[in-house]
Amino acid sequence: MTKIACLAGVAVAALLAASAAAQTSEEATKAYLDQIQARNDILHAVIAVNPAALTDAKALDAERQAGKVRSAIHGLPILLKDNIEANDGLATTAGSLALKNNVTGRDAPLVKGLRDAGAVLLGKANLSEWANIRSSKSISGWSAVGGTVRNPYVLDRSACGSSSGSGAAVAAGLAWAAIGTETDGSITCPAAINGLVGLKPTVGLV
């Protein structure tokens, strides 16, 4: 089996699309979950993993085998910044202990769109607490829930923020892609610092 976590995101997408039998979403999802287990204690990029991720991936594999492909991201595993709601029994904390039990039981419109397109939700990515709105002096990449996200290239340097975990996780091969949020540099800075491409879509498009 191809070592999924060593491939760029576009290569993983092409691999799944070209050979559903040779490389499955379930295998890709397990590979990323294994990477999270192996590396997250150092990077602190992921706050929580989705216990249903492998089950969801297996169901999407069955759809592909039956000839149903929802979109170009069908079966691809992603992380969500932990200020975005997802109905998987996971809390949406914004990195704050005040919200550590905030299980809303609903999907944000963005997440519903991702699920409808066939994405697999791996879990929640760490972030600068409250997306860094507490204070201009807040520590970039730190949250009370997740600790400090470390730059996977140079561990004692910043991963930037506020979508710190999203950037570090993708750079370290913990996910095919990750969702962040952007007001003033919260996607662009982690993307630049971690050697990635970040996209801020038109308001209302997603």
Q: pLDDT tens-digit profile of 40-63?
A: 999 999 999 999 999 999 999 999
Kindly name the residue from 162, 163, 164, 166 that is annotated as catalytic: 162
Class of domain 4-193: alpha beta
Q: Quick one: pLDDT at residue 117?
A: 96
* Confidence check: pLDDT of 12 > 70: no
Tokens representing 45 are 């990029």
Cα pseudo-dihedral 114, 29, 154, 150, rounded to 10? 60
Q: How far is CA 116 from CA 54, 80, 103, 166, in A?
A: 17, 15, 21, 21
Kindly name the residue from 25, 81, 124, 158 that is annotated as catalytic: 81
Q: Quick one: pLDDT at residue 13?
A: 63
Kindly name the residue from 163, 164, 166, 186 that is annotated as catalytic: 186
Read off the pLDDT band of 1 (50, 70, 90). Answer: very low
- Range 104-128 average pLDDT: 97
Provide the percentage of residues in the chain whose pLDDT is more than 70. Answer: 89
Strands 120-125 and 77-81 turn out to be parallel
Question: To 5 degrees, how large is the angle CA 183–CA 135–CA 100?
Answer: 85
Catalytic residue check, 163: no
Tokens representing 76 are 């691809």
Give the domain ranges of the chain: 4-193
Catalytic residue check, 186: yes
Distance CA 169, CA 22 (A): 25
Q: What is the pLDDT of residues 152-203, one digit of tens each?
A: 999 999 999 999 999 999 999 999 999 999 998 999 999 999 999 999 888 8
Catalytic residue check, 162: yes
Read off the pLDDT band of 204 (50, 70, 90). Answer: confident
